Structure 1
Amino acid sequence: MNRPTIVFVFSREGTDTSTRYGGFARRLVKSGNFPEADVKTVALENLIYHVSYDKTSVIDARTGFDLGDAQFVYLKSWSGLADEAVALAHYLFAKGVPFADMLAHGRGQSKLVTLFKQWAAGNRVPQTLYCHNQEIIFETRAIDLLGERFIMKDVYGTKGQNNYLVTVDEAKQILEEEKNEDINYLFQSYIPNDGDYRVGVYGGVSKFVLKRVSDQLSHLNNISAGGRGELLATEDAPERLLNLAKRAAAASELQFAGVDIIQDKHTKKWYILEVNQGSQIVTGAYASVNSTLFNDGLRLLMRQNMKRRRSKPRKIIGRRAIAILPELNIESVVAKIDTGAYSSTLHAENIHIEKSGVVEELVFDIVPGEFIQTKSGKAETHRVRDFYTQKVRSSNGHIQVRYTIKTKISLDNIRFMASITLSDRSAMGYPLLIGRKLLRSRFIVNVELNEQNEIDWKY
């Protein structure tokens, strides 16, 4: 069995003894921490970000280790390289790798972050390479993945500025000429095309479609770079294009977005190039039409927000939780959280009906045990008149008729009335099962958490 790997991430590479780099983890290990794990320290500036629809990775150039193979990643410091940290966090989140701090899983501003958000959402993007220390891309020969000629563009560029179609030698020459300028580049496969599309997504709806074609003197289709534009009615635009633009805007968490999409003229596959925040609404080609459609989207979103009921944020609980049932004198009971089950069920014994005249009472015993504690510490008999029967289908498909009671329950400090069926769960792991009917609109389940709301994952 392979040893798990824990990775500590810093902005810049330092020495193995500096507490701002390798010395941090070394001191933790020296104190007896992580005896069962391999510990690595990496620098954001040395990470090679490779994103494509088929294969995506974030690899430490110094060791060749893919951070997607780690069991835990701690982003200790990302000062000065915030977008590199955000892109890494989105990669780890999509790969299911636990990491801290979640603050890094933010929005970001660069094209690098946009690409990783789109990849994580399942949208196709051009094969792209990035490393803050740009010479690493060439030293490791990673650039060979992109073919003889490829796109080289400023990770923060706009309107086609600092955007080139180059060979390896031409790229190196540009980097040499601009070595004193604060520009970092993405390196991206060139998509052969007959133009691209700018789609305005306003209020979550694709409303504005502009087809852009280059002037044949440049690889750029941008109108600001000399290209020409043709306004398309949405009903004349490919449905695939409109749907992809909506998905791209949603993946970037933008209600108002300018989405740039290109189609490979040979394979006919669509690619997301960029997703911009409400770009060129009152400027650029067809600005009057664009601003009118933007206003329509704004009014739509305003109406939706006004209609939407305010709701409290849902709490996060784990795959197990501790509950209190005060009316049944249950001081503490460990509950299994099961979103596959509809109803909630409590273990009870000696369940039967007794009649007192014409009144029926449901009688049952609650017996304390390893996972359930009563206030008295002893078995208690309860009599309930407010009950009913319901049919419950078990996991093996059998239908049972169970008695159901209504009682107060406190789960993760939220108290409410709940309908709970009674059954003999002595053969089950936990005396209380919480199903999705009780969870709905109250809780979100994180299966990595235990009943103490602690991460409880195993190698």
Structure 2
Amino acid sequence: MSRPTIVFVFSREGTDTSTRYGGFARRLVKSGNFPEADVKTVALENLIYHVSYDKTSVIDARTGFDLGDAQFVYLKSWSGLADEAVALAHYLFAKGVPFADMLAHGRGSSKLVTLFKQWAAGNRIPQTLYCHNQEIIFETRAIDLLGERFIMKDVYGTKGQNNYLVTFDEAKQILEEEKNKDVNYLFQTYIPNDGDYRVGVYGGVPKFILKRISDQSSHLNNISMGGRGELLAAEAAPKRLLSLAKRAASASELQFAGVDIIQNKHTKKWYILEVNQGSQIVTGAYASVNSTLFNDGLRLLLRQNMKRRRSKPRKIIGRRAIAILPELNIESVVAKIDTGAYSSTLHAVNIHVEKKGAAEELVFDIIPGEFIQTKSSKTETHRVRDFYTQKVRSSNGHIQVRYTIKTKISLDNIRFMASITLSDRSAMGYPLLIGRKLLRSRFIVNVELNEQNEIDWKY
């Protein structure tokens, strides 16, 4: 049996004897009662952050060790490199690696943190490389992953400033010319495009949609850098665009956000570029329209919060209930009521995505059984286009891709639309789990409630 690995993280690289670097772990081991484990000490400034939709890693350039393979990580200090620590914490959390302290799992303010949040939520982002010690990116030739020409942009940049489309040699030259400037760059795969979109998500709803198109003299679509803007009505915008913008804002924990999204003109795949905290609302292009739509979102959020404060749950239910999902032809399904779970999950099998033309369809089977009855009493295959994916971390630390749909549900004679995640629950006692998001403002749960005139629950 291999020994676990414990990693100690400091801001800057030091000596093996310094208590601000390698000497810290040495003294802990020497003091006795230290866990039986391999010990590594790494510096945030030497970590290579590689984030993409398909493969993500945070590797110590000195040893080649991926911190996602550790059994425990202690972020001892991150002075001056807070966003690097926050990005690392989001990576570890998504990988299921225990770490301390949770204070590091904060918000952050850089593009690097945004990218890791979007990756953890299952959103597609451009392949990106970052290292605070920027020379390491070139010394290790990690930059070769991005192709002959790639994007080089300030990790804290705004309005297209310090944003370049470069070759390897051009990037090296820029770093040399700016070596005395306090600028750190991240490097991304260039996405060939016919423009990008800035979507204003206000009150959690995509409202302001601006298509931005380059003037052909630059790779940048930013209006502040010479691009032109075309205002789109929400009903005329691609549904996939609006869905992605909403998910991106939610992943960054923003109710008011400016989400930049781009589509590869060859593959037609969508990518989240950036998520900003409601930028250029009263000063950017179409400011008057943008401000009005922002106010609409503000009023919507205010009404929702006021309604939530006034609303009282209308019914009391026990820890099990019978639900009906008419759009899925489910006439009855036994549901477990679990206030410890946030979302709701329905048992389904053969869950996969199929291409149908330019659109994607989520395909899944509902199998009738002892606790779930369908109209046909046979296995039914369903296809839906209104769905989204997300990455979730199970209790054992494994990352899984889950699919969520919106469908009508009737629970104890209360009918409403609900977001329900699909998963194979064949090993679970009940085919439907109802979480607190669905219960909120609708039901009070009394675990001692005596269910009368119900089926034999068979504990």
Q: Which runs of structure 1 show a deviation greater than 6 angstroms over 4 or more consecutive aligned residues?
A: 310-459
Aligned equivalents of 1:177 and 1:82: distance in 2?
26
Q: Which residue of the partner structure matches residue 29 of structure 2?
A: 29
Aligned pair 1:356/2:369, yes or no? no
Q: Which residue of the partner structure matches residue 299 of structure 2?
A: 299
Deviations 1:66-116 (A, max 9, x none): 000111111010000000000000000111111111010000000000000
Deviation of residue 36 (structure 1)?
1.8
Deviation of residue 399 (structure 1)?
34
SS of the equivalent of 2:40 reads: strand
| Cα distance change of structure 1 residues 34 and 315 upon mapping to structure 2, 3 Å threshold | farther
Identify unmatched segments of 5+ residues in structure 1: none
Q: Which residue of the partner structure matches residue 165 of structure 2?
A: 165
SS of the equivalent of 2:77 reads: coil
Deviation of residue 452 (structure 1)?
37
SS of the equivalent of 1:183 reads: coil
Tell which deviates more after alignment, 430-439 or 210-219: 430-439
Tell which deviates more after alignment, 224-233 or 29-38: 29-38
Deviation of residue 307 (structure 1)?
2.1
Q: Which residue of the partner structure matches residue 81 of structure 1?
A: 81
| Cα distance change of structure 1 residues 358 and 123 upon mapping to structure 2, 3 Å threshold | closer
Deviation of residue 176 (structure 1)?
0.2
Does the aligned pair in 2 maintain the 1:338–1:435 contact within 8 Å? yes
SS of the equivalent of 1:309 reads: helix
Deviation of residue 308 (structure 1)?
2.2
Deviations 1:178-223 (A, max 9, x none): 0000000000000000000000000000001000000000000000
Does the aligned pair in 2 maintain the 1:325–1:410 contact within 8 Å? yes
SS of the equivalent of 1:191 reads: coil
Deviation of residue 283 (structure 1)?
1.1
Does the aligned pair in 2 maintain the 1:448–1:456 contact within 8 Å? no
SS of the equivalent of 1:260 reads: strand
| Cα distance change of structure 1 residues 257 and 32 upon mapping to structure 2, 3 Å threshold | same
| Cα distance change of structure 1 residues 274 and 445 upon mapping to structure 2, 3 Å threshold | farther
Tell which deviates more after alignment, 219-228 or 327-336: 327-336
| Cα distance change of structure 1 residues 447 and 249 upon mapping to structure 2, 3 Å threshold | farther
SS of the equivalent of 2:176 reads: helix
Deviation of residue 365 (structure 1)?
47
Deviations 1:349-400 (A, max 9, x none): 9999999999999999999999999999999999999999999999999999
| Cα distance change of structure 1 residues 297 and 19 upon mapping to structure 2, 3 Å threshold | same
Does the aligned pair in 1 maintain the 2:308–2:441 contact within 8 Å? no
Does the aligned pair in 1 maintain the 2:46–2:136 contact within 8 Å? yes
SS of the equivalent of 1:302 reads: helix
Does the aligned pair in 2 maintain the 1:47–1:59 contact within 8 Å? yes
Q: Which residue of the partner structure matches residue 237 of structure 1?
A: 237
Does the aligned pair in 2 maintain the 1:350–1:363 contact within 8 Å? yes
| Cα distance change of structure 1 residues 249 and 444 upon mapping to structure 2, 3 Å threshold | farther
Aligned equivalents of 1:331 and 1:62: distance in 2?
60
Does the aligned pair in 2 maintain the 1:319–1:450 contact within 8 Å? no
| Cα distance change of structure 1 residues 105 and 323 upon mapping to structure 2, 3 Å threshold | farther
| Cα distance change of structure 1 residues 251 and 313 upon mapping to structure 2, 3 Å threshold | farther
| Cα distance change of structure 1 residues 128 and 423 upon mapping to structure 2, 3 Å threshold | closer
Does the aligned pair in 1 maintain the 2:223–2:229 contact within 8 Å? yes
Does the aligned pair in 1 maintain the 2:94–2:399 contact within 8 Å? no
Aligned equivalents of 1:286 and 1:385: distance in 2?
32
Identify unmatched segments of 5+ residues in structure 2: none
SS of the equivalent of 1:444 reads: strand
| Cα distance change of structure 1 residues 375 and 81 upon mapping to structure 2, 3 Å threshold | farther
Aligned equivalents of 2:359 and 2:271: distance in 1?
70
Does the aligned pair in 2 maintain the 1:214–1:222 contact within 8 Å? yes
Does the aligned pair in 1 maintain the 2:15–2:23 contact within 8 Å? yes
Does the aligned pair in 1 maintain the 2:58–2:88 contact within 8 Å? yes
Does the aligned pair in 1 maintain the 2:351–2:363 contact within 8 Å? yes
Deviations 1:154-193 (A, max 9, x none): 0000000000000000000000000000000000000000
Does the aligned pair in 2 maintain the 1:324–1:330 contact within 8 Å? yes
Q: Which residue of the partner structure matches residue 38 of structure 2?
A: 38
Q: CA RMSD in A?
A: 15.9
Aligned equivalents of 1:172 and 1:68: distance in 2?
29
Greater relative contact order (CA < 8 Å, ≥ 6 in sequence): 2
How many residues align? The count is 459
SS of the equivalent of 1:308 reads: helix
Deviation of residue 303 (structure 1)?
1.2
| Cα distance change of structure 1 residues 154 and 224 upon mapping to structure 2, 3 Å threshold | same
Does the aligned pair in 2 maintain the 1:321–1:452 contact within 8 Å? no
Deviation of residue 33 (structure 1)?
3.7
Rg larger in structure: 1
Deviation of residue 32 (structure 1)?
2.3
Deviations 1:141-166 (A, max 9, x none): 10000000000000000000000000
Tell which deviates more after alignment, 386-395 or 357-366: 357-366
Aligned equivalents of 1:366 and 1:134: distance in 2?
51
Tell which deviates more after alignment, 347-356 or 109-118: 347-356
Deviation of residue 3 (structure 1)?
1.2
Does the aligned pair in 2 maintain the 1:448–1:455 contact within 8 Å? no
Deviations 1:242-284 (A, max 9, x none): 0000000000011110000000000000000000001111112
Counting aligned pairs with the same residue, the percent is: 94
| Cα distance change of structure 1 residues 240 and 379 upon mapping to structure 2, 3 Å threshold | closer
| Cα distance change of structure 1 residues 234 and 63 upon mapping to structure 2, 3 Å threshold | same
Aligned equivalents of 1:118 and 1:26: distance in 2?
37
| Cα distance change of structure 1 residues 435 and 281 upon mapping to structure 2, 3 Å threshold | closer
Deviations 1:3-45 (A, max 9, x none): 1101110000111111111111111111224342101110000
Tell which deviates more after alignment, 277-286 or 189-198: 277-286
Aligned equivalents of 2:23 and 2:147: distance in 1?
40
